[in-house]
Amino acid sequence: MSVFHHEFHGTVLREYDIRGIIGETLQPEDAFAIGRCFGSLVVRANGNKAGAKVAVGYDGRLSSPDLEPQLVAGLRACGIEVLRIGLVATPMLYFASHALQADGAIMVTGSHNPPNYNGFKMMMGQKPFFGPQIQEIGRMARDGDVVPVATEGSDRHVEIMEDYVARVLQDYDGGERPLKVVWDPGNGSGCDVTKALAGKLPGEHTVINGDVDGTFPNHHPDPTVAKNLEQLIAEVARTGADLGIAFDGDADRIGVVDNEGHILFGDQLLIILARDVLKSKPGGTIIADVKASQVLFDEVQKAGGTPLMWKTGHSLIKSKMAETGSPLAGEMSGHIFFADKWYGFDDAPYSAIRLLGIVARMQERLGEVRAALPQVINTPELRFDCDEARKFAVVKEVKDRLAAAGAKVQDVDGVRVLTEDGWWLLRASNTQAVLVARCEASTEAGLERLKALLVEQLVASGLPAPDFSAENAGH
């Protein structure tokens, strides 16, 4: 039996997943190594007993059918039974992991990245697998630290679509009121489940970009970028729809457009969902990441909830939800997590169904609800390059200077600085060599003052001022 050793490219082992460029930084043999190492962790977690099960799914990218068999082979080499879910949305794999009581789960997906990227998202047991655990995969591969196996495992195909759709629809609470809805799964792996759900809901449903195509011919599948929602906005206007719903490439993130064609940002969507959840969960902890508007935290409090600001990152949010018993959480990036009636993972189709129930029960239209929210002026998320070795140091320097100046700072993730005008944020990305910034104020003049404070701190750390010119000041 040959001895197993493998070196990953230095850029692919990220904070929340494994991700790279096909043929450059990510190869099929990486998929085998991930299966071999992750499978070894599962076997060891099971006390080295036989019979461990791991669910595997893949997205609609052109490279996914090449990576998935290699991943399966790596898992089988550990003696594991692999439950092959096929081409699915990432939340469907998470659901399968729960429904089939798997010991682990791996999704082959490039999420919302360009078509030449791909990667792997993982769960160990029913919990997110991230951070040091992902680095451990690299160490195990390098050291050849894997379980020896006398008997190879097995694999079988499992059909999950019908069960998932039935379970999601079980929580639709809009009655029989017909809504007019436009759906845009963006040619991603959520296409089939979108059509299945749309076909079973009351009302009139239009699906655009509904065929899986890993080249993403119509637009990039990232619903947080306004340009990618232009087609959806046009179709909502054409059909006179009540709302439009978009998913990212693997359907774990949602974008929403109201009946007037306005985008509901992640924090605005969370306000609408939280108000509804808090009716049955009064006092519940609603979690949002540090990039969310102050309006969200204020509105959650007004609705009788307990707002909690937490670190950005879907794995970090999921862990915090489990720790606090939170029924609902969300990120500006469109990850929405329901633990109320659901499993606590980020699931865009499920979030869409819950939203549709709310809209069907509302007296007003969605556009009126959005317009009634307190109005603030903010920058979009600003991202600018900063050397990997420098990015966390810059944030610390800024934090130390602010502390010395007696500024009011929330430091749960980077620095969020509160002033009379509003707030500004600077944090280091966990996944890229960039710094992330955002500013929010009640007036244009206040926003300019916040930007100036941000620039002042960046310049003091030897960085150039960010380019604010491409902004589309938001909600």
Each residue's pLDDT tens digit, 421-445: 999 999 999 878 899 999 999 999 9
Q: CATH number of the domain that 191 lies in?
A: 3.40.120.10
Res. 348 pLDDT band, cuts 50 70 90: very high
- Please indicate, yes or no, whether residues 229 and 277 belong to a single structural domain of this protein: yes
Domain assignment present for residue 2? The answer is no
pTM above 0.85, yes or no: yes
One-letter amino acid at 342 equals W
- Are the C-beta atoms of residues 79 and 153 closer than 8 Å to each other? yes
pLDDT tens digit sequence for 220-266: 999 999 999 999 999 999 999 999 999 999 999 999 999 999 999 99
pLDDT score at 1: 45
pLDDT score at 438: 95
Domain assignment present for residue 3? The answer is no
- Please indicate, yes or no, whether residues 173 and 117 belong to a single structural domain of this protein: no
Residue 320 has pLDDT above 90, yes or no: yes
- Are the C-beta atoms of residues 128 and 271 closer than 8 Å to each other? no
Res. 475 pLDDT band, cuts 50 70 90: very low
Report the domain count for the chain: 3
Q: What are phi and psi of 260, to 5 degrees?
A: -95, 0
Q: CATH number of the domain that 415 lies in?
A: 3.30.310.50
Active site residues: 111
- Smallest CA-to-CA distance from 265 within 337, 194, 330 is with 330
- Please indicate, yes or no, whether residues 352 and 395 belong to a single structural domain of this protein: no
pLDDT score at 470: 52
- Please indicate, yes or no, whether residues 129 and 75 belong to a single structural domain of this protein: yes
Domain assignment present for residue 125? The answer is yes
- Please indicate, yes or no, whether residues 184 and 317 belong to a single structural domain of this protein: yes
- Please indicate, yes or no, whether residues 407 and 446 belong to a single structural domain of this protein: yes
Residues composing the chain: 475
The residue among 113, 128, 159 that closes a domain is 159
pLDDT tens digit sequence for 334-344: 999 999 999 99
The residue among 311, 343, 371 that closes a domain is 371
Res. 3 pLDDT band, cuts 50 70 90: confident
- pLDDT (mean) for 327-331: 98
What domain range includes position 344? 163-371
Tell how far CA 244 is from the center of its chain.
19
Q: Is residue 176 exposed (0-12), middle (13-18) or buried (19+ Cβ within 10 Å)?
A: exposed
Residue 401 has pLDDT above 90, yes or no: yes
The residue among 322, 338, 371 that closes a domain is 371
Domain assignment present for residue 86? The answer is yes
Which residues lie below 8 Å from residue 368, measured CB to CB, with a gap of 6+?
Answer: none
- Are the C-beta atoms of residues 388 and 433 closer than 8 Å to each other? yes
Distance CA 118, CA 61 (A): 8
Please provide the distance, in angstroms rounded to a whole number, between the alpha carbons at the two ends of the chain.
61
- Please indicate, yes or no, whether residues 337 and 406 belong to a single structural domain of this protein: no
pLDDT tens digit sequence for 164-213: 999 999 999 999 999 999 999 999 999 999 999 999 999 999 999 999 99
- Which tokens sit at 126? 């029913």
- Please indicate, yes or no, whether residues 325 and 398 belong to a single structural domain of this protein: no
- Please indicate, yes or no, whether residues 78 and 185 belong to a single structural domain of this protein: no
Domain assignment present for residue 4? The answer is no
Residue 474 has pLDDT above 80, yes or no: no
- Please indicate, yes or no, whether residues 203 and 309 belong to a single structural domain of this protein: yes
What is the average pLDDT score of the chain?
A: 95
pLDDT tens digit sequence for 360-372: 999 999 999 999 9
Distance CA 441, CA 445 (A): 8
One-letter amino acid at 58 equals Y
Per-residue burial over 161-175, b if 16 or more Cβ lie within 10 Å, else e, is eeebbebbeeebebe
Percent of the chain whose predicted confidence (pLDDT) is above 90: 90
- Which tokens sit at 273? 């969902």
One-letter amino acid at 205 equals H
pLDDT score at 431: 76
- Please indicate, yes or no, whether residues 337 and 393 belong to a single structural domain of this protein: no
The most confident of 96-105, 145-154, 461-470, by mean pLDDT:
96-105
pLDDT score at 317: 95
Distance CA 221, CA 242 (A): 22
Domain assignment present for residue 420? The answer is yes
Distance CA 260, CA 240 (A): 9
Q: Report the SS3 class of residue 256.
A: strand
**Which position has the token pair 């963006």?**
186
pLDDT score at 2: 60
Q: Is the dihedral of CA 344, 346, 350, 356 positive or negative?
A: positive
Domain assignment present for residue 13? The answer is no
CB atoms under 10 Å from CB of 469, counted, come to 5
Residue 296 has pLDDT above 90, yes or no: yes
pLDDT score at 263: 97
pLDDT tens digit sequence for 256-284: 999 999 999 999 999 999 999 999 999 99
Domain assignment present for residue 7? The answer is no
- Please indicate, yes or no, whether residues 206 and 352 belong to a single structural domain of this protein: yes
pLDDT tens digit sequence for 39-84: 999 999 998 887 899 999 999 999 999 999 999 999 999 999 999 9
